[in-house]
Each structure stands twice: as structure tokens, then as C-alpha cells.
Amino acid sequence: MISIENLRFQYPRSEFRLAINDLCIETGAKIAVVGPSGSGKTTLLNLIAGISVPDSGQVIIDGETVSRLAAAARRNSRICNIGMVFQQFELVEYLNTADNIRLPFLINKTLLPKSGKSDIGRLTDCVGLVDKLKRFPNQLSQGEQQRVAICRAMVANPKIILADEPTGNLDPKNKSRILELLFEQCARHDRTLVVVTHDVNILGGFDRIVDFEQFREEGNGHDGLV
Ligand code: ADP
Ligand code: MG
């Protein structure tokens, strides 16, 4: 379970303020996060992932207060527990598709399944990347890069998948295939899925929608987000 309590966050020298008093995401839940551009959706994912830390309040994942861990421990916790699809993909430019997807195992060998056999074949087949495994990111379209990022987030079967507008660059067929893949992995392994999206057509598949509008009323009695 992801639990956020009394969180306050501000970037240095920025007017933007995020205030979340109480947000609970149950294990196995599929959550869509919606809200206007600039309202803090990416910031929220970074706080859950421990990439950013709150100024006050806490982010608790399965009983562990990740926001209180030192940087190295937070990074380690993220590598072991979280698969992240970044809004800008963040692929490693000098690694080909196969190695980009394999990156979690290159960083931490213990994430490899005991059988030693990873899911890369099945995932790349499912998202239509099998003939692109040797290509580098700059030889891929935006939509292909996005699919590589999605495979990388799923390959180690993490407890939590955080996906930042993961269908933004995909055609309708790839979009539904990828959502099915994400939903199926979560259902099969009781994994938690948090997806930031602007796409109202896909909201029906989620258990719950977290709308950033609601945080406007929280915080210090008036605007949580400025
Ligand atoms: P969203 O993902 O909902 O579009 P973000 O979480 O990316 O919004 O950003 C929320 C606000 O914080 C925006 O006003 C943005 O300009 C600001 N912001 C984002 N990243 C930084 C940063 N590294 N430094 C300062 N301000 C930032
Ligand atoms: Mg964003």
C-alpha cells in the first residue's frame, strides 16, 4: 500500500506548492491520475518513487517511510520495488532496445527471476518490438521509445508501476494493447498501477481516478496548488 500523509512539497525558487493531506493507494489497485498540465502529477510520481522528497509529511510504501530514507537507500528501494515510465522516456542512448529493457537487471542482478529467464521476449512480442531489439533510441520513433520504456518498467515485475502519460505517443491499437498488458500484469501478480493520463477514453479500465483538482481544497485551508 502507498500512503501519503500531510505532504508538502515545493521546488526551490518556485511558486508551485503541492499539498496532499491524505492519499491512500491500496495494493493491487489501478489508479488513474488526472489534472491540468502543471498541476503536479509528475511531481507526485517522483515523490512516490523517492526521486523527490517532501519538505514535510511522509510517503509510506508497505510500512516503510521511504521519504525518510537516505538517498542511497531510497534509490535501492526504487530499483527493487518500482517500475517507472517517465514522461520523457529517459532511455539510455548508448544501449539498444534489448539492453534498455534489461536495465533493471544490469543495475541489480538479484531482480532476475530465479529461473534466470526474463520476460523480455514475451513483452517485446506483445508490444511489437521484436524486430527492433538491436536498435538504439535515436533509431526509434517516439511511440517505439515509449513502448521500450513501458517494457523496461514491467520487466522485473515490480510491486508498483508508475507510468507518466504512457500512451501519449501511441496509436489506438498500441494504446489498447499496452493498457491490456499493464492491467494483466497487475491483476496476475496483484501489482499496483498508477497512471498519469490526459486520455479520457481509457479511464474506464481503472479502479479509481485521482483528480488533482481535489488537492486545491486541501492544504492550508485554501489553495493546495498555486
Ligand atoms: P504536471 O506533470 O501535472 O504537468 P509537474 O509535476 O511536472 O506538472 O509540475 C508542477 C509544477 O512544478 C509546474 O508549475 C512546473 O513548472 C513546476 N516544476 C516542475 N519541475 C520543476 C523543477 N525541477 N523546478 C522548479 N519547478 C518545477
Ligand atoms: Mg507531467
Ligand 1, from 42, 52, 214, 223: best to mutate by most atoms within 8 Å of Cβ? 42
Select from 162, 159, 158 the least CA-distant residue to 52. 162
Å from CA of 58 to ligand 1 middle:
20
The residues with which 156 forms a beta bridge, in sequence order, are: none
Pairing mode of beta strands 64-65, 56-61: antiparallel
Taking a 5 Å cut-off on Cβ, the residues next to ion ligand 2 are 41-42, 87
Query: For residue 49, what pLDDT is reported?
Result: 97
Give the model confidence (pLDDT) of 143-155 as tens digits: 999 999 999 999 9
**Block residue for cell numbers 496548488:** 225
- Of the pLDDT bands very low, low, confident and very high (cuts 50, 70, 90), residue 205 is very high
Closest ligand 1 atom to residue 39 Cα is 3
Alpha-carbon gap, residue 147 to 216, rounded angstroms = 33
Closest ligand 1 atom to residue 37 Cα is 4
Select from 181, 194, 177 the least CA-distant residue to 82. 194
Query: CA angle at residue 167 from 118 to 176, to 5 degrees?
Result: 75
Give the model confidence (pLDDT) of 11-22 as tens digits: 999 999 999 999
User: In sequence order, which residues have a C-beta less than 8 Å from that of residue 14 and are 6 or more positions away?
Assistant: none
Other Cβ atoms less than 10 A from the Cβ of 2: the count is 21
Pairing mode of beta strands 160-164, 64-65: unpaired
Q: Which residues line ligand 1 (CB under 6 A)?
A: 11, 14, 16, 35, 37-43
